[in-house]
Amino acid sequence: MTTEREDTKREDTQREELDPQTEGMLAAEQDFGFARVYTIELKYKEKPNFSRKRLYEKMQLYTGTVEQPEKQKQEDRLVVWEPSNEAETDMLHFFHLNYPVTFADGEMPAQTSLMPTKNRPASAYETAIQQAWHWPEAGEVVAECRHSVRLIDMMASGLEPAQRLRLLTGALRALLETAPCDAVYFRESDKLLEPGDYLTAVEAGGILYGAMNVRFFNVEGTGSERSERLMDTVGLAALGVPDVQCHFFDLEPNEVAQQVTNLGYYLFNSGDVIKDGETFGPTEDVRWRCEHQYALAGPHRLVLDVDPGSPYYAGRHKAPIRE
């Protein structure tokens, strides 16, 4: 299964010509599944109307010192930019001074932007709705939404994964507490969320609640009489660490989901530190062998495949899948 992705990234379109080294780097990132620009969409049943002053205060609270260029006004320690073009008054752009990114020619703060975007129908989120085990009402709510606001980061891909997600989480919290929405969509993890559940999870320490989607597929067409399934995560590769997958027979899906989730959090917190052939598991007696592979289910990305051993491992082969 593949998920809908925008093929053109904003930073890439700004370059007319790329040197061979840069082209190689971008190709490697695409092969890995890395997102140079990260996108979160907020969906509303009614057009949002929020206080910019409150948004700036919340942005300051959750991301630290913030600055905006061009037209500026001072709000305590927060420097605020508002575009002079009336047609663009709903777009805001923040420079996050607490999140510096080092480039070859110097340092620049990571940035986030908020902007209205064309509302998409519920059918555009079909794969996310199909995997929304955590929120059965997702499809119904999204179908009622008529307005969308997009939150993106820019010049932030050089941050460490935890730093980058912390910045995005802070900016999203600021917006949700200023202009509560009806649904949140993490594009990179293809995950729809109930906003209150998201805030509760983040406050409880579940930093990956939106950024990592744990998916479950029944596999058909292989000729096997056994229950063949695939469990994977999507969203981690976009941040710079491998996703996780387990292709298995007969195991209890909830137990596999717990192990896949635990391994996802481990990789996010520790980095890509597990070498091919090393094992991961809940106890010394239950250890699953790990190996880097490409994902069996789209989008194309690098994953850490976990092998629960014979007779449970279903192998590498691709097969048609259904949810």
pLDDT tens digits for the chain (323 residues)? Answer: 333 344 344 444 444 455 665 566 667 788 899 999 999 999 999 999 888 889 999 999 999 877 655 544 444 333 345 555 544 457 899 999 999 999 888 899 999 999 999 999 999 999 999 999 999 999 999 999 999 999 999 999 999 999 999 999 999 999 999 999 999 999 999 999 999 999 999 999 999 999 999 999 998 766 667 889 999 999 999 999 999 999 999 999 999 999 999 999 999 999 999 999 999 987 777 789 999 999 999 999 999 999 999 899 998 755 444 44
**234 and 313 together in one domain:** yes
**107 and 236 together in one domain:** no
Residue pair 297/321 in contact (Cβ under 8 Å)? The answer is: yes
**249 and 277 together in one domain:** yes
Q: Is residue 187 situated within a structural domain?
A: yes
Q: Is residue 17 situated within a structural domain?
A: no
Query: How many Cβ atoms from other residues are within 10 Å of residue 86's Cβ?
Result: 7
Q: Find the domain containing 262 and state its range.
A: 213-322
**197 and 244 together in one domain:** no
Q: Is residue 11 situated within a structural domain?
A: no
Tokens 């969320």 identify what position? 193
**153 and 70 together in one domain:** yes
- For the chain, report the end-to-end CA distance as a whole number of angstroms: 10
**116 and 55 together in one domain:** yes
Choose the final residue of a domain: 173, 203, 233. Answer: 203
**195 and 80 together in one domain:** yes
Q: How far apart are CA 161 and CA 71, in angstroms?
A: 32
Q: Is residue 30 situated within a structural domain?
A: no
**156 and 242 together in one domain:** no
